[in-house]
Amino acid sequence: MAKSNIFVLVLVTFIVASCIDKTVITSNLRHPYAMCEYDGGILISNFGGDAVNYNNTKATGFVTYYKNGSNRVVIPAGNGLYSPKGMAVKESFLFVADVNKIVVFDLDGYKKVDEIEFPQGDAFVGDLLVMGNALFASVANYDRIYLLDITAPRQIDHTSLLEYVELPCPSTLKLMGEYILVSSNSFGKADREDKIIHIIDDLGNPSIRPIIHEHGDYQGLAFSPNKTRLIFCNQERNGYIGNLVFENGEYSYEQVTDDKSLLNSLLLLDGKMYICDLLNSKIYIKELIEFDNFSGIIKTD
């Protein structure tokens, strides 16, 4: 009888494991904002808390690490993160955008080593981008991108934080060769006609130009595998992601979910696209072949 019970238990466990939805990550997520590739996996910033709050006053923020189907907490709440947003890695250091500051962690043990504050006191720091020894930081409510010298990540000169370029409501930053693409998102604070996607042409003498003229709240920039298309979120189009063909400037949208959602971040890794849903605490995993719009760039057998 005991052997029969064990067999039934094993069978039930197998059935449950087989029914787990492998196309959605939910474990250990609480309002995930951004993703960052690291060591074959994905670092994920989470707001934590009971509701989406871009400016938490309690240290509810945390970071998880997803790899091989498992998502574990590596920086728990209570370690100096409030509403952690975009992230970037240089060597063995993780830089995290947060409320009015940039927080630095040593990835060897995930220990906090520094905190660079913005002097004005209310900076909405949305995303970070590493290029060599420079760290770019977008601040949506200042309409500016800042630059920080991170030559020595353990001994950062806080006074090296300088204004780099003025740009409307900058949010996600994405490097493409010698250019930076910048999405605009006011996060509900202002209705402006210049909330679009821009490109910074000359990084040494920055000038900006639009690549999408449609008004929106843009987030989560990513490139197709062959770099011919820009994939993006527009939070004014609930549950959809867009893709733009660089060659002709044409773009279209593809539905990801029927749920009321807030798609916020995109990451392409190993032929799959990971899509953060900030509102529903989910990350969708999609094969590129699921998107008809991408048929021209999908690898075929």
Q: Could you tell me which residue, 294 or 79, shows the higher pLDDT?
A: 79
The three-class DSSP label of residue 100 is coil
Interval 204-216: pLDDT, tens: 999 999 999 899 9
* 32-36, 43-47, 252-256: range with lowest mean pLDDT: 252-256
pLDDT of 1 reads 47
How far does CA 197 lie from the centroid of its chain? 16
Tell me: pLDDT of 182 over 90. yes
Q: How far is CA 279 from CA 261, 283, 295, in A?
A: 6, 11, 29
Tell me: pLDDT of 297 over 60. no
User: In the chain, what percentage of residues exceed pLDDT 90?
Assistant: 72
Q: pTM score > 0.75 for this model?
A: yes
pLDDT of 193 reads 66
Q: pLDDT band for position 296 (50/70/90)?
A: very low
- How deeply is 271 buried, as exposed, middle or buried, from its count of CB atoms within 10 A (0-12, 13-18, 19+)? exposed
Domains belonging to the chain, first-starting first, are 22-297 (2.130.10.10)
pLDDT of 287 reads 84
Q: Which of 32, 42, 43, 63 is closest to 283 using CA atoms?
A: 32
